[in-house]
Amino acid sequence: MLKCQSTKLILSRYLNLSAVARSKISKRRKDTKLKQSPNLRDPNVEAKQGKPTPTKLAQDFFDTHYKQTYGSEWHSIRLALFSKPKFAVLVNNLSVKDEIIHDLKTLGCLSLKELYNEEVQRLGINVLDYNQTPQQIKLPSYNDRPSMQDLSDFEEPTIEHISMSKEDAKDRLIDPENIVMGGKESIQMYEFVPSKESLGLEDFVEEQDYYEKYSQSQNSNLKFEKIPEGVYEFPDKLEAFIHPYGVFDHFMAPTRPSDGAFNYYCLDAASLIPVLMLDLKKGDELLDMCAGPGGKSLAAMQTFKPQRIVCNDIDGSRITRVKHVMQSYLCNRFNEEIGMNIIQYSKRDGQSLPNVFDQEFDKVLCDVPCYTDRHTLFQDDNNIFKSHMAKERLRMPELQASLLLSSIKCLKPGGSVVYSTCTLSPMQNDGVVSLALKFLWEETSIDVSICDLSETIKPYKPFLNFSSNSKVTRFGQQITPSIGENSGPMYIAKIRRLS
């Protein structure tokens, strides 16, 4: 617990909020407003009084802040977000696999593996050559690291570059048993009280100031190595299908025989990318840091690569959901037939996992809670833009960075973590990675490198739209929704632990 509080304290220091957090005026203004109308604490009262709904607040917020980041791209992205999304199906290897694949192809569906391999061949890529381990240039030792004020003089090493039901909408994956297809002035800014453990202050900070200050963290002069990754081999056992470009037909609900497993799992096609970016190898030990509702853990198991997977989530109901997914699709056959406890479950705060799993895993998937853009634009229930959830929303980047740091600490030297979100928010994507790197640089002896995925993603471009906006791809890659291939949003960044 003390270690966790220390991490939060240091992370909060990097938010650089002190300049805007000292005034008491905002606090007095809010106290006065609540005294005059105490029912404002009830979110339902706002709707009755004609105040903007959470979905409208999210829309206005995105129109203001995402437009600043994505510029002219925002109009097409926005149109796609408000259009019918496109889903994929993950075929269950432990069901009647050949029959399922035949039926899907008869419907005109396309195999992601075949699309991927065709693009690899078209580009003339030799996957074996690309998979050679890149030369790793080690960072300066912890004692030799410059202070933050000296970073402007630090020279980056030269690297040679190589040629939706409501609940599951929130969880970014589609419930396989209940599929649901489905530039102005800023909005009124909320205020929040930073925790004493975080900032040592009780002052209020307006959301606009918070966003702008946090966004500045992306302009840091901090230098970390960005080592090019190759093109991975698509897992031979993994079978997933989508409809052709521009087709948004429904998939039938998954079915199962009385004594068997479900035939396929429905999800956003972009949700498979974080799992594929792990580049799982035979015998890997994998941690899914925030596993609920279980789709990504299931996809990892469908590769038949992991020797062990630990599915963790802080919420008991979500862990129950993960267990249900695993049992419904795998029927405990991995544990029973192989005779090993391959699938394990953990109900812990991800920030505390290094106390249990220090340097234990080859791969970690860190798919963190975020704005869940599609959910917040359509569902008022469980919407992070509800006024009474302002504190949770504003503290989200700090939580995300803390979970990413915990993931890195759980890695063996040489292991890698994939950090992912389903939001377009630059402060929750590249901004969080930047925040975590600053902490590692100044406060730990852990050395890491950033994996440059610009070559790795090329074979996925025929069926997913990747942003070329340098404002959102400093450390990772951003999948943006588009009208023809309306998957995502999904952000992915990969970090390798060196020591």
- Interval 136-176: pLDDT, tens: 434 334 344 443 333 333 333 333 332 234 444 444 333 33
The gap between the terminal CA atoms of the chain, to the nearest Å, is 24
User: Is 70 exceeded by the pLDDT of residue 292?
Assistant: yes
Segment of 208-212, 244-248, 281-285 carrying the highest mean pLDDT: 281-285
CB atoms closer than 10 angstroms to residue 438: 21
> How confident is residue 247, by pLDDT bands cut at 50, 70 and 90?
confident
pLDDT digits 0-9 by tens, 368-404: 999 999 999 999 988 999 988 888 888 899 999 999 9
Tell me, yes or no, whether 190 lies in a domain.
Answer: no
Active-site hit among 290, 370, 422, 451: 422
> Which residue would you say has higher pLDDT here, 355 or 133?
355
366 in catalytic set: no
The tokens for 14 are: 């990097």
Residues in the chain: 499
Which two structure tokens, joined as six digits, stand for 128? 């074996």
**Which domain covers residue 440, as residue numbers?**
52-182+218-497
Report the SS3 class of residue 487. coil
> Which pLDDT does position 258 carry in this prediction?
74
143 found inside a domain: yes
| Residue 232 in this model has a pLDDT that exceeds 90 | yes
pLDDT at 246 over 60: yes
Give the CATH number of the domain where residue 491 resides: 3.40.50.150
Number of domains in the chain: 1
User: What are the beta bridge partners of residue 492?
Assistant: 420, 477
What pLDDT band is residue 57 in, cutting at 50, 70 and 90?
very high
Distance CA 73, CA 66 (A): 10
For residues 219 and 343, give the distance between their C-alpha atoms in angstroms, rounded to a whole number.
41
Beta bridge partners of 495: 417, 450
Residue 485 has pLDDT above 60, yes or no: yes
Q: Tell me whether residue 210 is in a domain.
A: no
**Spatial distance between the Cα atoms of 475 and 452, rounded to a whole number of angstroms:** 7
Distance, in Å, from the CA atom of 448 to the CA atom of 432, rounded to the nearest integer, reads: 15
Residue 331 is predicted with a pLDDT of: 81
Q: What angle do CA 393, 276, 252 make, to 5 degrees?
A: 80
Residue 19 has pLDDT above 60, yes or no: no
Percent of the chain's residues with pLDDT above 70: 69
What is the chain's mean pLDDT, rounded? 79
8 A C-beta contact, residue 449 and residue 496: yes
**Which residues sit opposite 110 in a β-bridge?**
242
Report phi then psi at 415, rounded to 5. Answer: -80, 170
pLDDT, one tens digit per residue, over 87-135 is: 999 999 999 999 999 999 999 999 999 999 999 999 998 876 655 544 4
Cβ atoms of residues 80 and 424 within 8 Å: no
The DSSP letter of residue 42 is S
Kindly report the number of other CB atoms within 10 A of residue 3's CB atom. Answer: 12
When pLDDT is cut at 50, 70 and 90, the band that residue 9 belongs to is: low
Q: What is the mean pLDDT of residues 353-374?
A: 96
**Which residues are registered as beta bridge partners of 206?**
191
Residue 341: which pLDDT band, with cuts at 50, 70 and 90? confident
Instruction: Establish if 3 belongs to a structural domain.
Output: no
What local confidence, expressed as pLDDT, does residue 139 receive? 38
Q: List, in sequence order, every residue forming a beta bridge with 89; answer none if it has no partner.
A: 241, 266
Q: For residue 405, what pLDDT is reported?
A: 97
Type of residue found at 154: F
What band does 11 get if pLDDT is binned at 50, 70 and 90?
low
For residue 328, pLDDT beyond 60: yes
pLDDT per position as a tens digit, 174-199: 333 333 322 333 222 222 223 333 33
Give the largest CA-CA distance in the chain. 69
DSSP per residue over 463-475, as a string? TS-B---TTS-SS
The rounded distance, in Å, linking the Cα atoms of 308 and 306 is: 5
Q: Is 193 a domain residue? A: no
Place of tokens 């202070």: 147
- Contact assessment for residue 130 and residue 231, using Cβ atoms and an 8 Å cutoff: yes
Chain segment 255-281, per-residue pLDDT in tens:
987 778 999 999 999 999 999 999 999
**Is residue 30 domain-resident?**
no
> Would you call the peptide bond into 293 cis, given omega within 30 degrees of 0 as the criterion?
yes
User: Parallel, antiparallel, or unpaired: how do β-strands 285-288 and 361-367 relate?
Assistant: parallel
Position 138 in a domain: yes
Amino acid at 370: C
% of residues, the chain, pLDDT over 90 = 57
User: For 425-437, what is each residue's pLDDT tens digit?
Assistant: 999 999 999 999 9
Q: Are 433 and 42 a contacting pair, CB within 8 Å?
A: no
Q: How far apart are CA 475 and CA 478, in angstroms?
A: 10
* pLDDT (mean) for 335-352: 80
Q: Is residue 468 part of a domain?
A: yes
Are the C-beta atoms of 239 and 113 separated by less than 8 Å?
yes
